[in-house]
Structure 1
Amino acid sequence: MVKVPTEFSKMYIGYPVILICYIEQNGQPNISTGSSSFSLGNMMYLGFVSSGHAIDCIRLTRELVVNVPDKRHMAEIEQCGFTSEKERGKFDLSGHTSVPSKHVSAPSILECPISIECRVEEICTPASHPQYTYVIASIVDRKIDSSLLKEDGFLDAGLVDPVFFVGDHKQRMYRFANEIAVPLGDFITDAVY
């Protein structure tokens, strides 16, 4: 393997695409597409463009819902990511169904197999990179499509089929999870415990 230096101004190594629901200043629900996120325990970490409309609304309500779509939702992913519908909202535009959340004001999306309700703990815009704003939120509820759960009620990770965002500043694309799911630890043949 030969590694060479690059001059990318951005690089996405395969982050899951999410649809973030929030409440507009007029009280109406809206959706924004994101791809900069991860969870750690009961915390959710999200990245936004500082000049974006969604982060302005989230600053006010301090609540959001992270919805995980799959490849059946590609048109909706792009509609919610590439259009600005502040007045009408992207629920109308995308045809998604808004479902009231149990713990936060922002709704979830019925058609997404995973929805995660969150309350914002911290919002940060680093002085070194003011074009980006980071949100740290507590997860207050998770809703999972029952078809993704095993009989014991736990997640069947092999069935989760997220869309991934990959690329650099010249070209970005979507990738889909393949149908091969291998349990963690299967690649260690001589494990020492």
Structure 2
Amino acid sequence: MNDKPAFLTIQPKVLYFGTPVALLTSIDQDGKPNIGPISSVWALGYNLILGLGCDGKTYQNILENKECVVNLPSPDLYKNIEKIAGLTGMNPVPENKKDKYLYEEDKFSAGNFQSMPAEIVTPPAIANCPLQLECVLQNHYIVESAGDSTPLIASLHLRVVNVRVHENLVINQNYIDPAAWSPLIYNFRHYYALGEKMGKNFRAEV
């Protein structure tokens, strides 16, 4: 008797298979701050790779000012994030977003987020988020375009220049305690926290 599940070949509309949520804070040329929720981010050393839509205010701000803060929220902030998920800092709202998005100038107030100054970069950080990565832009690449060559999706390479974290998450001075820190996970457009610990990698130092 074969009790192994059968495989199905499908074409999912999204491939968000368990990625962390990040809130990007940036500023425009007039110094106005913006918050952009994303779920396409990964780290290699002190380098971050982000995936952003090219029609968003966050993408525009980072290209113009070359800086941002990648704020990593804890799971309890998912309702705050949902309050701004359907908002955009682009005015007028891009045509392809008009059916789902509304313009909002002040996403900090809309999401009940508290602003705090960053230490090195100009954009503010989000005090509600226990982990903050201050970054500068290194490169960006267009990874998908429309038929008329309009850029749709870009990959941004950021360099982390400063890391701040809540003190109750730090152990052995320069390590983040994995037992105390729980990221908010975006799993096929649903929010999850981490579950039971299964073990640790042989390279883990704490």
- Shorter-chain TM-score bucket reads 0.7 to 0.9
- Residue of structure 1 equivalent to 2:96: none
Q: Deviations over 1:24-57 (max 9, x none)?
A: 2321111110000001001011011111121011
Of residues 1, 11, 15, the one that matches 1:11 is 15
Work out whether residues 158 and 182 of structure 1, in 8 Å CA contact, stay in contact via their aligned partners in 2: no
Of residues 163, 170, 187, the one that matches 2:184 is 163
CA drift of 1:84 comes to 2.5
- The number of residues matched between the two structures is 182
SS at match of 1:101: coil
Q: Tell me whether 1:100 sits opposite 2:117 in the alignment.
A: yes
Q: Quick one: distance in 2 between partners of 1:67 and 1:101?
A: 11
- Matched AA of 2:22: I
Q: Quick one: distance in 2 between partners of 1:106 and 1:54?
A: 11
Q: How does 1:22-37 map to 2 (within 5 A)?
A: 22-37=26-41
Q: Quick one: distance in 2 between partners of 1:58 and 1:88?
A: 17
Q: Deviations over 1:61-85 (max 9, x none)?
A: 0100000101211122112322125
Q: Tell me whether 1:66 sits opposite 2:70 in the alignment.
A: yes
Q: Structure 1 residues 29-38 or 77-86, which shifts more?
A: 77-86
CA drift of 1:106 comes to 0.9
Q: Quick one: distance in 1 between partners of 2:61 and 2:82?
A: 20
- Matched AA of 2:64: L
Of residues 172, 180, 185, the one that matches 2:197 is 180
Q: Quick one: distance in 2 between partners of 1:71 and 1:179?
A: 15
Q: Quick one: distance in 2 between partners of 1:121 and 1:153?
A: 25
Q: Deviations over 1:133-185 (max 9, x none)?
A: 11101100010111111144421112211111122xxxx21121124363223
- Matched AA of 1:157: P
SS at match of 2:135: strand
Q: Deviations over 1:84-143 (max 9, x none)?
A: 255632112122111111111111111100000000001111356742111101100010
TM-score, normalised to structure 2, is: 0.81
Q: Structure 1 residues 157-166 or 62-71, which shifts more?
A: 157-166
The 1:153/1:58 distance shift into structure 2, 3 A limit, reads closer
Q: Structure 1 residues 112-121 or 23-32, which shifts more?
A: 23-32
SS at match of 2:200: coil
Q: Quick one: distance in 2 between partners of 1:12 and 1:127?
A: 17
**For the aligned residues, what is the CA RMSD?**
2.0
